[in-house]
Amino acid sequence: MDLNPTPQERQFRDELRFWLEAHAPRDWEARQSATDSMEARFAFLRDWQRQVYEGGWAGLSWPKAYGGRGATLMEKAIFTEELARIGAPPLPGILGLELVGPTIIAFGSEAQKQRYLAKILSGEEIWCQGFSEPNAGSDLAALRTEAALDGDHFVVTGQKVWTSYGWASAWCELVVRTDAGAEKHKGLTVLLVDMHSPGVEVRPLRQMTGETEFNELFFENVRVPAANVVGRVNDGWNVALGTLMHERALLGAGLQITFKRQFGRLVELAHQIERNGRPAAEDPVIRQKLAQCYAEIEIMRLNQMRAISRVMETGKPGPEGSIQKIFWSELNQRFQQIAMELLGPYGQLTRGSEFAFDDGQWSYNWLRARGNTIEAGTSEIQRNIVGHFVLGLPKSY
């Protein structure tokens, strides 16, 4: 056990910091509260991804043969942390980089690798995922979007929901049912679908925050070349699951830094805001809650470090990895609640109010956190996974 960075890790961090110093835009956080259109903001993010790509930092953990850097999981974590530390903009092609690309690398044909991977790295083509459906959320394998073979094409009809970046995407990794007669996990196939194909419709899905992070996708007799199947026909569950495992392992990495930054800001505010005639930071109840939050954010970091060490050593996630999603999502809800409590009535004010702290960031965070225990696998599904796959209890469903 040695929690000091190795010389290589230190060198990687230094090199990255040097590059970020020269290239990372400093005005992202200000831009978020600006009145730019969604499209203008997205163009800005794409430009940022192109710079990251040209700097050689995109697809960090991808094999070098496919344009990646062959970095270790620890270097990947360092990269995520460093970007979060300076408040760098997110990469708009994140789904391609983290989910679709690795899936194509693991299961795709050589022709697919040549066709898609480079443009995922550069951000030239943005990807979305067509997984969840109105009647297939937690029970993903119950999905009903159909694909029937017609000559050398599949004809796709159905509906997807909760698709991040759907409106901006050139391509979609779509899970469809290709054998209605098979057991539900066994009749699925993963298709790569050109979002500009006739019959694809993208509608915005407005969330309780007022934003439209997600879309609904409608497919009506969309023709997809059979060459766009990833892996084997009717083996889509394994292909899609590989992607989901990536998603669960990675979501927490940069978040602990983001939480720490937000926490640091909240502490500053706690020294300024008065409560019962003294700074809130001196109120014993607030102190207890802030300290608990601080402890939990730190433990989230430690769980993450343990999980990374375990995967690097054994190639498999350990029990500490399986709890990460539950841990960070429930922690963020408690954290944002404490923030709201500390800010008092001012906390509810939204962007644009001259009295809102940090231009309404806190009321937004509080609302957005509500989705955390639902997206990427609800807390209930996560606990089922822990119960069955980690503790060996009988499957409940």
> Which sequence positions are flagged as catalytic?
247
For residue 232, the SS3 value is coil
Query: How many whole angstroms separate alpha carbon 20 and alpha carbon 36?
Result: 24
Binding mask 315-334 for another protein (x = CB under 8 A): ----xx-xx--xx-------
The phi, psi pair for 176, rounded to 5°, reads: -130, 165
Report the nearest approach of another protein to the CB of residue 14 (Å).
15
Report the nearest approach of another protein to the CB of residue 299 (Å).
5
User: In this chain, which of 205, 233, 241, 305 binds another protein, going by CB under 8 A?
Assistant: 305
Angle at 56 between CA 304 and CA 14, to 5 degrees: 60
Report the nearest approach of another protein to the CB of residue 273 (Å).
13
Site for another protein in 215-274 (CB under 8 A): 257, 260-261, 264, 267-268, 270
Judged by phi (left if over 0) then psi (alpha if -120 to 50, else beta), residue 265 lies in: alpha
For residue 173, the SS3 value is strand
Residue 285 within binding range of another protein, rule CB under 8 A: no
Report the nearest approach of another protein to the CB of residue 349 (Å).
24
Find the part of the chain contacting another protein (CB under 8 A) among 14-22, 139-147, 215-223, 299-307.
Answer: 299-307
Assigned token pair, 224: 């997809």
Residue 34 or 393 having the CB closest to another protein: 393
Find out whether 119 and 145 touch, Cβ atoms under 8 Å: no
Residue 124 or 282 having the CB closest to another protein: 282
Query: How many whole angstroms separate alpha carbon 217 and alpha carbon 158?
Result: 8
Q: Residue 295: how many CB atoms within 10 A of its CB?
A: 10
Largest CA distance in the chain: 77
Contact residues: another protein, CB under 8 A: 1-6, 9, 74, 85, 257, 260-261, 264, 267-268, 270, 281, 284, 287-288, 290-292, 294-296, 298-299, 302-303, 305-306, 308-310, 313, 319-320, 322-323, 326-327, 380, 382-384, 386-388, 390-396
